[in-house]
Chains A and B, each alone.
Chain A
Amino acid sequence: MSALPGPAAGEAPPRDTTRPLAFLPAARGVFGLALEGMVWSRRSLLMAVLLGLPVVFALLYRGFLVAKVPARVTGLDLYAIIVAVYYVRNVLPLAALFYATSLIADEVEGRTLTYLLTRPLPRPAILAGKFAAYLGTTLALTLPALVATFLLLATARGFAGIGTAVPELFRDMGVVALALASYGALFTLLGVVLRRPVIPGLLFLFVWELVVHIPGYLPRLTLTGWLGSLVHHQPAEEGLAGLFQRQVLPVGEGLVVLLAASALFLALSVWVFSRREYVMEQ
């Protein structure tokens, strides 16, 4: 049998197919594939609606409500409540839950995981590519809504006072990214460990995270406690909720804790995913 012809002059040598792809090219490939599946999905449509609701509210405020609301309630006050309460405490954790838990779970449910695992792709690269796609998708949906909400509300009564608020916008964008990263990493871990991660994820969000209202050390064991402290706006809790005012934790410590937690959860996810045997249900 004659030998196969070698590569032509100037062409790269063929890849050694006995070894898996390097991490970065593999992750990039998975990222592209996962992004395509995530952005154009019903889940993204629903999330876009949820994340875009403040823009609708801001338009309504500018169009109709600004003349009816007392002057002491400024657009920036409303923006502060939207960021601190709507985004950071509610919608972003939910978005992370529904996207991140399904990174691997969707592949398992669709029985396509086998095809992915039989490719010469390192398992850490698969998870990294999918996580990057999750971050890209959620940030692409959230950040434009946040910026649009800010511009619409902050300028509702003119440009007075916007100078001091613009740095807050950039800070809020950072907090949003950190919230998606930290919740995403946690729910990715749940997704690789548990078969049905959504219910435990919901319990975490709506039971454990409520611990943030308890005085003492417990708020430091929640993600929402640290994220809430990074946000500059601290809306007043009125009525009964005022009895359980959130602690404001140190900002520097919060950054370190959230970044470390995200890294830890991701590392654990990669470790579990790399070693776990997935058996498809017949």
Chain B
Amino acid sequence: MSRSRLVVFISMLVVGLGSLAAVGAVYLDPARAAVGPLPPEGLLLPADARFVAGLDVKRFTASPFYKRFRAQARPEALRDLEEKTGIVPERDVDQVLVAGRPEGGPAAGVAIALGSFDTYKLGRSIETGSKRKATARTIEGFTAYVFDEGGKGPGAVAFIDRQTLVMGSLPAVEAALRSRSQGAVPLKSNAGLMALLERVKPGATFWMVGDQSLLSNLPGSVPGPGGGAPVTLPALQSLIVTGDLDPVVSLSITGDTPDGESAQNLANILNGFVGLLALQAAQKPELKDLATAISVSTEANHVLVSARFPYELLEALQATPGAAAQTGPAPPAP
């Protein structure tokens, strides 16, 4: 082998070894693994989260649902993000992750947005143009903007890097930044939510998992049909929701109950409500289509609810009752 070929061979060997080392470093990364649909950055969410939800913003804003129902459909998290930071979610944000915590109220949530952020421009935008007064601070080496500092329940937005920002209550944001600087992954210690996340298939436009602490606030019973005796709801242990918005609005809800009998009871109750919907068809024919679009089944101790709503059905349901009455069912042909 000539000298020059030896040099080229050695350099390619260096590249190969370096690439192997890089791949090996992936396994040393404490937050390397995405868990289900949750990217590694989502592991910064608090360990005591009651639920975790995710939204694929790109798919959401490209969906017919968003185009048709934009005014009502825009999630609160996206509005809050734009109001505080000047970020245009449709353009700059790829994914939003939200975690809800036990305290309740507006300070209970913390959100992580993933996308492409021009941190310098956004910082200027927050400092000069935000509708709410913001104070710049350095927390754990990261730049954070605190809103309503000194007030009740101050909020904050912080840029972890050009692809990640965290927003929420000031204590929650501080905790996330502390975790990041220490290389910690707090959400991973929540075994319940981790187990639920592993059951969610990546690829849904939106998803949510909640464990028992979320569901403990659900009512234990609902009024019976026709004002009869209340119906006791079986205790749900966890909830997994996934959905897509293209080509139709499709929803899949999986609830875990203590045993198969509870699952069957809950499925029967849900089927009952679906039946009630169908019975309302005389007043609003679309409700019958809505009822047929929902199916309830059980599998061991899991209750599975799946629904597929065409957009035409949703638009028909949105029509006002007055307009529906005026354009009510066509008179029978002579």
Give A residues with C-beta under 8 Å from B. Answer: 32, 35-36, 38-40, 70-72, 74, 76-77, 80, 136-137, 139-141, 143-144, 147-148, 150-151, 154-155, 158-164, 166, 169-170, 173, 234, 236, 238, 242
Contact = CB atoms under 8 A, between A and B. Distances in A.
B8 A72 contact: no
Given A140-B11, A144-B18, A166 B26 contact: yes
A140 B18 contact: no
Q: Is the interface of B mostly helix, strand, loop or mixed?
A: helix
Contacts of A148: 14, 18
Nearest to A76: B161
B38 to A, nearest CB: 13
A154 B25 contact: yes
Contacts of A160: 29-31, 180, 183
B159 interface: yes
A159 B26 CA distance: 8
A141 B11 contact: yes
Contacts of A80: 162
B143 A155 contact: no
A155 B30 CA distance: 13
A147 B29 contact: no
B15 interface: yes
B32 interface: yes
Given A159-B29, A164-B40, A147 B141 contact: no
Contact of A150 (B4, B22, B30): B22
Interface in B115-132: 116, 118-121
B280 interface: no
B162 A38 contact: no
Nearest to A39: B4
B2 A166 contact: no
Contact of B15 (A136, A144, A166): A144
Given A136-B8, A154-B25, A169-B19, A159 B30 contact: yes
Interface string B217-254: 00000000000000000000000000000000000000
B7 A39 contact: yes
Nearest to B21: A151
A32 B2 CA distance: 9
A170 B19 CA distance: 8
Interface string B1-45: 011110110011011001101110110111111000001110000
Given A71-B141, A144-B15, A147-B15, A162 B3 contact: no
B14 A163 contact: no
Interface of B: 2-5, 7-8, 11-12, 14-15, 18-19, 21-23, 25-26, 28-33, 39-41, 116, 118-121, 138, 140-143, 159-162, 180-181, 183
Nearest to B33: A163
A32 B5 contact: yes
Contact of B29 (A71, A143, A161, A173): A161
Given A36-B3, A136-B8, A140-B11, A147 B18 contact: yes
Nearest to A164: B40
Nearest to A160: B183
A147 B31 contact: no
B25 A71 contact: no
Given A71-B141, A160-B30, A166-B26, A35 B21 contact: no
A169 B8 contact: no
B4 A36 contact: yes
A151 B31 contact: no
A51 to B, nearest CB: 11
A62 to B, nearest CB: 15
A139 B14 CA distance: 12
30 contacts: A32-B5, A35-B5, A36-B3, A39-B3, A71-B181, A72-B143, A76-B161, A80-B162, A140-B11, A141-B11, A143-B12, A144-B11, A144-B14, A144-B18, A147-B14, A158-B183, A159-B28, A159-B30, A162-B26, A162-B28, A163-B29, A163-B33, A164-B39, A164-B40, A170-B19, A173-B15, A234-B116, A236-B118, A236-B162, A242-B121
A166 B27 CA distance: 11
B25 A140 contact: no
Given A39-B4, A40-B3, A72 B22 contact: no
Contact of B22 (A38, A147, A164): A147
A202 B21 CA distance: 38
Nearest to B9: A140
A236 B117 CA distance: 9
Contact of A238 (B14, B40, B120): B120
A161 B164 CA distance: 11
Contacts of B7: 39, 140
Contacts of A140: 7-8, 11-12
Contacts of B22: 147, 150-151, 154, 162, 166, 169
Contacts of A39: 3-4, 7-8
A166 B23 contact: yes
Contact of A166 (B25, B116, B118, B119): B25
